Structure 1
Amino acid sequence: MTFDLSGAPAALDETQPRRVLLPTELPPSLDFGGGHSFRPVHTLTGATMGTYWRARIVERATAHADDAAQANAILIKTFDEVVSRMSPWEPESDLACFARTPPGEWLSLAPETAHVLARALEVAALTDGAYSPALGEVTELLGFGPGDPAARHSIDSPAVRAARARADYRRLELDTARRTVRQRPSHGDCASTNSPLHIDLCSIAKGYAVDLASERLHAAGWHHHFIEIGGEARGRGCKPDGQPWWCYLETPTASDTEKTAQSEVPRSVAGLCELAVATSGNAHHHFEDEVSGKRIGHILRLDDFEERKTANERSHHTRIGSTHDALHSVTVFAPTCMEADAWATALYALGPERGLPLAEAQQLAARWLYLEQAPRPTLREAATTQFQRLVD
């Protein structure tokens, strides 16, 4: 996605079909370019969670000379806190400590980690495990975690299949009142299921970090701001001229899909005013598994563990997004970035055929981009009613 377009929506190519997405409801107290119309906007940037972060902050009414520096300090401190508690790469994070905790023993979590894990488990239950915070060991074996990517296993290897079999989110027991978690012990001689689980919150922690930073900025007086971490973003208030924080929803180029593919997806620009957005996909983070012949991405899909379809079956498969290679990405708009982040990953894992009914039931504003092969390769879109409401 491209954010903060100058002059949007006119910034889009006027020769192409386009549409504008706007929130359906806004708080009546929102100040559209009133008392802050002449305040400067500060741009802040940095690195976190293996990617970049960027923020656009409208200066406070009571600003001092170090206004931008104060906002920058809040952002860095917030992101560092989330990393220290929820990153599997940090040896003393809550996740790393849990991986070393024997099954059956309770581990105390930071309040923030307990909050994020609770929501991840709720989404896992709603998706019947297609989305799961218990897949940490699997992602590590596939080279997407803290281990050595050069030592990655095939998706069909015994090690990965065994890890996938025991990576059941229902084996994670979270006591929300005490903010403790444990792996439910298995009875009998099942040594495999008594192996320590590895929690993975990478699909939701970035969104949570954006929300936490936004809440802290808002509480400190920065009521109008935009925050992004690696494409997951949230806009609060608006720009000094009354415009929302614009983002352009990119569509795949020919190199991302097929050179012969045509597109029936209109170019879109969305206004992030009291709204968050996240996009999930495997186009830029995957590897070619030579053993199985599959392209494996960092977001594991149900198709990854099914038998590989022949090339003939893939080329004549017309159900929307049902083959592994057909689905390109999922974009979700939500009031918070944590919700958008988690659901974008979950709905990508499910695909549109399984995900659309669930997204409609949850009243999510979501859209899938997928490549339909017949009668000719065509990029198409499947969207929920709530997504269409942003357009209408």
Structure 2
Amino acid sequence: MGTCWSLHAVAPPEGVARGVKAAFDVVIAQMSQWDAASALSRINRDPPGIWHPVAAELAHVLRAAFGIAQASRGAFDPGLGRLTDAWGFGAAGPVGRVPADAGTKGGAIEFDAAKQRVRRTGEAALDLSGIAKGYAVDLAAEWLLAQGVRHFLLEIGGELRGEGIRPDGQPWWVDVEMPPAVSLPPWRVALHDLSVATSGSYRRRFSDGGRDYSHSFDPATERPIVNGVSSATVVHRSCMMADGWATALTVLGPAAAIALADEQGLAACVIARGREHVSRAWRAMLD
């Protein structure tokens, strides 16, 4: 997944790291755009129109991805793989300039939930980088709970899930990452059977002609976002849902993002042009 992971666990059994890594390996084998042998890579290589049966884990993530896509009115799009590759943020590697033709060239991703299968139409390519990392946290966390590990903090590249409490009786306290050059103090969140994910438009970017271009794309324009949002953080029971919704909210301007978070009952904080915008559910967590 191109990042690091960490686990803080209370009285973990022997071999716990191998078990967590095995869960991550399941996600990589099915959803990695960086692994040429993954199910996702094979789907993207095959000609459009072919239905591909998918494993239960990939079907679960696709169901969530398409649910967020519908609820966000297209702000989340699992079919931007051609776009992210063209701009240098995918498996094809970085680019040094704005691509001349970076569109998806038409088409979409179709998911048949009833038959647990997926296909590409046209030149769209599947890209689950905005939600799969959060799912990997959940999959490993559920394995830990099944092994009787009740108290732990698990993290992959800044997406975190905390279960139970620390040995000192405190919840798992984590600080929300703030964008660079923002003077706002970080929020401190108590992860007691909760997850938190932050999507930051500042995390990966490149410059061309004196202008910076972010890895966060607006599906409507097929270009990096220019809405002033530098990060979006979501607190949720599911790390997968926190990850996917943080990705979607980053695409929207701050007002639309918070309005949608309120509509969906999400605890969300959006940083835009140096200002904080928080949802009703976020404010309620302060009480």
Q: TM-score band, normalised by the shorter chain?
A: over 0.9
**Deviation string for 1:173-207 (max 9, x for gaps)?**
212232111234xxxxxxxxx33x21000110110
Corresponding residue for 2:64?
Answer: 119
8 Å Cα contact 2:78-2:109 kept in structure 1: no
Is residue 54 from structure 1 mapped to residue 12 from structure 2 by the alignment? no
Corresponding residue for 1:300?
Answer: 217
Q: Could you tell me the percent identity over the aligned residues?
A: 39
Give the whole-Å Cα distance in 1 for the aligned partners of 2:241 and 2:282.
15
Q: CA deviation at 1:140?
A: 0.3
Corresponding residue for 2:255?
Answer: 353
8 Å Cα contact 1:296-1:304 kept in structure 2: no
Give the 3-state SS of the residue equivalent to 1:160 in structure 2: coil
Return the match for 1:166 from 88, 106, 113. 106
8 Å Cα contact 1:143-1:153 kept in structure 2: no
Structure 1 regions of 5+ residues with no counterpart?
1-48, 61-66, 185-193, 258-262, 309-322, 372-378
8 Å Cα contact 1:303-1:324 kept in structure 2: no
Cα distance change, pair 252–172 in 1 and its aligned pair in 2 (3 A): closer
Give the whole-Å Cα distance in 2 for the aligned partners of 1:222 and 1:115.
24
Is residue 237 from structure 1 mapped to residue 150 from structure 2 by the alignment? no
Give the whole-Å Cα distance in 1 for the aligned partners of 2:97 and 2:74.
22
Return the match for 1:383 from 272, 278, 283. 278
8 Å Cα contact 1:94-1:110 kept in structure 2: no
Give the whole-Å Cα distance in 1 for the aligned partners of 2:272 and 2:19.
39
Give the whole-Å Cα distance in 2 for the aligned partners of 1:123 and 1:369.
21
Return the match for 1:154 from 98, 103, 107. 98
Give the whole-Å Cα distance in 1 for the aligned partners of 2:120 and 2:173.
43
Corresponding residue for 1:18?
Answer: none
Give the whole-Å Cα distance in 1 for the aligned partners of 2:219 and 2:42.
29
Give the whole-Å Cα distance in 2 for the aligned partners of 1:96 and 1:353.
36
Give the 3-state SS of the residue equivalent to 1:391 in structure 2: coil
Corresponding residue for 2:245?
Answer: 343
Task: Spell out structure 1 runs of 4+ moving beyond 6 A.
Answer: none
Aligned length: 287
Corresponding residue for 2:269?
Answer: 367
Give the whole-Å Cα distance in 1 for the aligned partners of 2:194 and 2:163.
7
Q: List aligned pairs for 1:180-199, cutoff 5 A.
A: 180-184=117-121, 194-195=122-123, 197-199=124-126
Cα distance change, pair 123–303 in 1 and its aligned pair in 2 (3 A): closer
Corresponding residue for 1:270?
Answer: 189
Which 10-residue stretch deviates more, 198-207 or 353-362?
353-362
**Deviation string for 1:146-199 (max 9, x for gaps)?**
11314x6525x2x213x2x525xxx32212232111234xxxxxxxxx33x210
Corresponding residue for 1:103?
Answer: 48
Structure 2 regions of 5+ residues with no counterpart?
none
8 Å Cα contact 2:75-2:251 kept in structure 1: yes
8 Å Cα contact 2:179-2:231 kept in structure 1: no
C-alpha RMSD of the superposition:
2.1
Give the whole-Å Cα distance in 2 for the aligned partners of 1:362 and 1:53.
29
**Letter in structure 2 aligned against 1:141:** A
Give the whole-Å Cα distance in 2 for the aligned partners of 1:112 and 1:143.
28
Return the match for 1:287 from 191, 206, 231. 206
8 Å Cα contact 1:153-1:160 kept in structure 2: no
